[in-house]
Amino acid sequence: MSTKNKKTGFDRRRFVRTSAAVTGGLLLVPELLSAKAFNSVDDAIKVGVIGCGGRGTGAAVQALSTTQNVKIVAMGDAFADRLENSYKQIEKAMAAKQKVDRLDVPKEHRFVGFDAYKKVIPLCDVVILASPPGFRPDHFTAAVAAGKQIFMEKPVATDAVGVRKVLEAAEIAKQKKLNVVVGLQRHYENVYQQWVEKLHEGAIGDITMSSVYWNNEGVWVKKREEKQTEMEYQMRNWYYFNWLCGDHIVEQHIHNLDVGNWVKKAYPVRASGMGGRQVRTGKEYGEIFDHHFVEYEYADGSMMYSQCRHQPGTPSKVTEAFVGTKGKAPKPGIIQDHSGKTIMRISGKDDPDPYQVEHDVLFAAIAKGEYKFADAENGAKATMTAILGRMATYSGQVVEWDKALNSNISLFPEKLAWDALPKVLPDKDGFYPIAMPGKSVVI
């Protein structure tokens, strides 16, 4: 019997699978026994890193820090300086752990440029996909086609066309029994696992209202350098261009929106909201907003209120809270009755680092030849939830999930080359067009 809710597209089994994955159950069993296991010293799990920035470097060190026999054998990045810097950082981190031999990437296995991923993928058993998210649909599709095990960072796309591509490849990954872990690490964090489990067991009754936040001061910005082409400038300053980043509602707030969906066991059916750029208005901030407020509605009529803000001088708040028919859950780990009396407190104080846990469990499964993780579908729908919010704030309209998911507006450039032009370009003074609620067509 199908567990899929036709209206929401939500598949109850996926959430069962996620919790099975994190509690150690297998997804699908008999055929697994024939999957390749990695046992001997000579039989290391070969890993390739695609996108060697902050997170790619961190994920590489985490992969090498598991108890499995893992080696990094290939690296790929759009830029040579980013790749070499990452190599040095991984080398330093592994030297400190006296495991530098696990980094085994000769010069001829370091690839640079837009098609670096095509050269990395054939050389490994596992790929770490950590470029800016705009490239993820192509990188993920290629890795799945090549039959690789995958760790991919969130978000997994920046527009609906990309989300649909990831959903298609996610199905193929399931058929091929390829483990896919997505870096929505709260799913691998003890305090969240226990808290969400209690909420699913009905600790506060039916959830009637959710509030999710990623408010802080914002992130890095890269200056335009002399002689850079427009493509190189946007690639270096990728956070501020939607084809690469998706806006901060997609790039960061996805974590909290994902927790909201996880607790509800559903994806929203529509969204409306408002946003703009009030503080971060310079041309170096490209085209993204500095604040969004979105009301998401689920099929059962309950609402998720979402705030994300990048404004220096304002308080930081990154969290989730829920109200139910029998009580409330004002922050991760806490469950209260309606009067505010705490009736359950799950301490996350001594929890292991979820960034490390996601690699520990993935590589343990791969080493044994087991198929345990199928995170891509939820990764794609969490990404779509954030894109839906952006569509709502950019357009000022009420946006339906189904219409948004079926949008054919692609933000991706027609051609990838250093002298090719991205779709969004600056005016003569260097300013980029900004979405205008009531006027912009974004679906």
Ligand X SMILES: NC(=O)c1ccc[n+]([C@@H]2O[C@H](COP(=O)([O-])OP(=O)(O)OC[C@H]3O[C@@H](n4cnc5c(N)ncnc54)[C@H](O)[C@@H]3O)[C@@H](O)[C@H]2O)c1
Q: Return the H-helix or E-strand segment holding 16.
A: helix 12-23
Of the listed pieces 17-25, 111-119, 293-301, 330-338, which binds ligand X according to CB under 6 A? 111-119
Residues of this chain, 133-192, that bind ligand X according to CB under 6 A: 133, 135, 153-154, 183, 185
The span from the CA of 302 to the CA of 270, in Å, is 11
Which tokens in the block code for residue 437? 């609620």
Q: Is the Cβ of residue 76 or residue 273 nearer to ligand X in the bound state?
A: 76
Total residues in contact with ligand X, by rule CB under 6 A? 26
Is 358:352 a contact under the CB 8 Å cutoff?
Answer: no
Residue number, 125 or 358, with CB nearest to ligand X: 358
- In angstroms, what is the minimal distance from the CB of 28 to ligand X? 27
Q: Which residue, 409, 365, 413, 353, is CA-closest to 230? A: 413
Q: Pattern 253-292, binding to ligand X, x per CB under 6 A?
A: ----------------------------------------
Which of 131, 158, 216, 261 lies at the binding interface for ligand X (CB under 6 A)? 131
Query: Rule CB under 6 A: which of 39-68 touch ligand X?
Result: 50-56
Closer residue to ligand X, CB minimum distance, 379 or 396: 379
Shortest distance, position 254 Cβ to ligand X, whole Å:
8
**Cβ atoms 182, 376 nearer than 8 A:** yes
- With tokens 């956070």, the residue in question is 239
- DSSP notation for 253-276: THHHHHHHHHHHTS--SEEEEEEE
Tell me the closest approach of the beta carbon of residue 232 to ligand X, in angstroms. 10
Q: Which residues contact 289 (CB under 8 A, 6 or more apart)?
A: 247, 248, 249, 275, 276, 277, 393, 394, 434, 435
Q: What single string gives the DSSP state of each residue in 55-70?
A: HHHHHHHHHHTSSS-E
Shortest separation between residue 56's beta carbon and ligand X, angstroms: 6
If one asks whether residue 251 binds ligand X (CB under 6 A), the answer comes out as: yes
The residue (of 167 and 203) whose beta carbon lies closer to ligand X is: 167
Q: Which residues bind ligand X (CB under 6 A)?
A: 50-56, 76-79, 82, 114, 116-117, 130-133, 135, 153-154, 183, 185, 235, 251
